[in-house]
Amino acid sequence: MKKVYIVLAHTGTILSRIIKIVTGAEYTHASIALDEELDQMYSFGRKYSYIAFIGGFVKEGNTFGTFKRFYNTEISVYELEVTNEQYEKVCERIEYVKQHKDEYKFNILGLALAAINKKTYREKTYYCAEFVRAVLEKSGISTKKLPKVIKPEHFKELDGVKLIYKGLFKTYKNRIKNQEFIEYLNFLFAKKNYSNY
């Protein structure tokens, strides 16, 4: 078994604040990550951190781009266990979109309509939550609990997801380091106890 991670975020950009006011949602952006460290995190969003309406497929991280500029971004990280085959398909789908990213557009109309629970379909266009759902669906991961008009908040209800972190993006990696340190201490403690027998 493998794991993928769904990251819900609120950056505090003007656009995200407008979306939050209109929808009342805690989070206004969704991404999918291939690793717990979130070093391989992808979505559809703004290509340039200072320009809201030029968007498309993006690799994301807290040390570059929008999340670096908006360093008080709040996130929730959800872990989803998948089969090895599903994980490979997730990777393949993301890689395919990455290789053909110039063919894909940011679905600004879909984003606007989603705020009022209306759906539009335009080929090869996504906003963030549409992209995450499409990757899951095309990888054989059940999204039956998700509504047709998808918003970041809806991923909280996805079958099998487990919340593993809630807080500031900039302190997320500290959680990983602390967790590794605790595991190391547990290993040393267990080794010491075992040697006493």
Q: What is the pLDDT of residue 195?
A: 55
| Position with higher pLDDT, 55 vs 196 | 55
CATH homologous superfamily of domain 2-172?
A: endopeptidase domain like (from Nostoc punctiforme) (3.90.1720.10)
Q: What is the pLDDT of residue 131?
A: 97
- Write the CB contacts of 78 (distance below 8 Å, at least 6 apart in sequence): 5, 6, 7, 8, 155, 156, 158, 161, 162, 163, 164
- Write the CB contacts of 74 (distance below 8 Å, at least 6 apart in sequence): 9, 10, 27, 167, 168, 169
Within 61-142, strands assigned E span 74-82, 105-106, 125-126
* Minimum mean pLDDT range among 19-28, 100-109, 184-193: 184-193
Beta bridge partners of 123: none
Q: How far apart are CA 178 and CA 197, in angstroms?
A: 30
pTM attached to this predicted model: 0.86
| Identity of the amino acid at 1 | M
Structure tokens at 12: 């505090």
Domain limits of the chain? 2-172
